[in-house]
Amino acid sequence: MHTAKIGGPLAALPGPSGEPVSCNVFGDVAFEYAGDPNAIQPHLSNAILQATGNVLAAKLRANQVAIPTLSASLPHFVPEIVAACGAQGFGVQITQLQLQIVVPQAAPPPQPMVMPPTPMQSAAASLGQAAADHLDPRNYEYEAKINVGGFKIKASTDGGLDTQGLKNQVKDKAKSTVIWWAAGCLIVGLVFLGLAGLGGYIYWEAQKGMSASSGTGPAKAATWDGKGEFSCGGNDNVKLEGITASLSSGTAVKASGNCKLALVNCNITAPNGIDASANASVEVKGGSVTSTGLAAKAGAAARITFSGTKVTGKTQASGTAKITGI
């Protein structure tokens, strides 16, 4: 087997408009030949170039291929080129043929001559561009300010949404809310403390009033000459001690209202000794009560209590009143 390089210009090929197009073909051929390969090589090369031109011209005329696509289409036409070259007629057997074609690039179309604009055209173009720029909304900045829920939201076409300003407003709003809540809690606390103090004062005064009205607390020492009647009433809380009384008529001691009376070591002599009424309370410790009539008389809800006292005379209790200790 022998190899040889082939190459050269093809006969003019028909162009798209019938104009002749000159192309060059080159490649490699492998063949078998019984004689001298160097002697047959020029004849084989010319036959292949001629067959290539004939096949491509026929394809172009039949619109089966175009000048710009010859390079890509040429390998597909190799079997036809081998058959058309008639190599077997002069004792050559082609075993392989590789061809490439060089197609000249088409010249670019002529560019029309552009004349520079006249001063009038330049001025008109400048005014037109200025008007277009003036009407183009992209050349202007638009701002929007809206109030949503107490927040002032700002936005513009250039800067977009003012997120930093919105963040600052949120922080200020939160601080203000915290301050108001703290102030409110402080005021409520002060009001609560004031009400608690007022309630305590009222309770204290009420307890004092109740103590006064009920006669609780230490009894106050009272004076009595023992010659006339001794009486107490209202919310009196009194004490008589070591008194010797002697009356020829009437009642020696009278207690009414809420009076609380203590008789300690007192010796009383009278037609009627002790008369307690209403809600009075008389406590007698020691001493003596001597009467020709009633030594002790209790009415309504009064109470008379004797403790270690010598009682001479009758006693009388009515209603829910009680006389004890005799």
- The residue to which tokens 């009196």 are assigned: 236
- Tokens, residue 236: 């009196």
Among the candidates 52, 81, 102, a domain finishes at: 102
For the segment 45-64, the average pLDDT, to the nearest whole number, is: 92
- The mean pLDDT of the chain is 87
When divided into structural domains, the chain yields a total of 2
In a domain, 109, yes or no: no
For the segment 229-240, the average pLDDT, to the nearest whole number, is: 96
Name the least confident of 137-146, 285-294, 300-309: 137-146
Q: How many CB atoms lie within 10 A of CB 50?
A: 16
- Tokens, residue 96: 């392989």
Name the least confident of 11-25, 219-233, 249-263: 11-25
In a domain, 185, yes or no: no
In a domain, 197, yes or no: no
Domain holding 318, by residue range, is 220-324
**Residue 214 in contact with residue 258, Cβ under 8 Å?**
yes
In a domain, 170, yes or no: no
Instruction: Compute the distance between CA of residue 235 and CA of residue 260 in angstroms, rounded to an integer.
Output: 7
In a domain, 191, yes or no: no
The residues that bridge with 13 in the sheet, in sequence order, are 21
In a domain, 93, yes or no: yes
Percentage of residues of the chain with pLDDT beyond 90 = 56
Q: Nearest-CA neighbor of 286 among 305, 258, 314?
A: 305
**Residue 41 in contact with residue 88, Cβ under 8 Å?**
no
pLDDT of residue 111: 66
- Is the pLDDT assigned to residue 300 strictly greater than 90? yes
For the segment 186-193, the average pLDDT, to the nearest whole number, is: 83
For the segment 299-318, the average pLDDT, to the nearest whole number, is: 96
Instruction: Compute the distance between CA of residue 33 and CA of residue 91 in angstroms, rounded to an integer.
Output: 6
pLDDT of residue 92: 92
For the segment 162-166, the average pLDDT, to the nearest whole number, is: 79
Among the candidates 102, 132, 162, a domain finishes at: 102
Supply the CATH number for residue 45's domain.
3.30.479.30
Among the candidates 69, 102, 135, a domain finishes at: 102
- Is the pLDDT assigned to residue 212 strictly greater than 80? no
For the segment 200-225, the average pLDDT, to the nearest whole number, is: 72
pLDDT in tens, 248-257: 999 999 999 9
pLDDT of residue 112: 65
Which has more confidence, 206 or 217? 217
- Contact residues for 106 (Cβ-Cβ < 8 A; gap 6+): none
Instruction: Compute the distance between CA of residue 275 and CA of residue 125 in angstroms, rounded to an integer.
Output: 132
Confidence category of residue 133, pLDDT binned at 50, 70, 90: confident
Instruction: Compute the distance between CA of residue 56 and CA of residue 49 in angstroms, rounded to an integer.
Output: 11
Instruction: Compute the distance between CA of residue 52 and CA of residue 300 in angstroms, rounded to an integer.
Output: 155
pLDDT in tens, 72-115: 999 999 999 999 999 998 899 999 999 999 987 755 555 666 67
Read off the pTM: 0.38
In a domain, 131, yes or no: no
Instruction: Compute the distance between CA of residue 245 and CA of residue 254 in angstroms, rounded to an integer.
Output: 14
In a domain, 272, yes or no: yes
For the segment 298-309, the average pLDDT, to the nearest whole number, is: 97
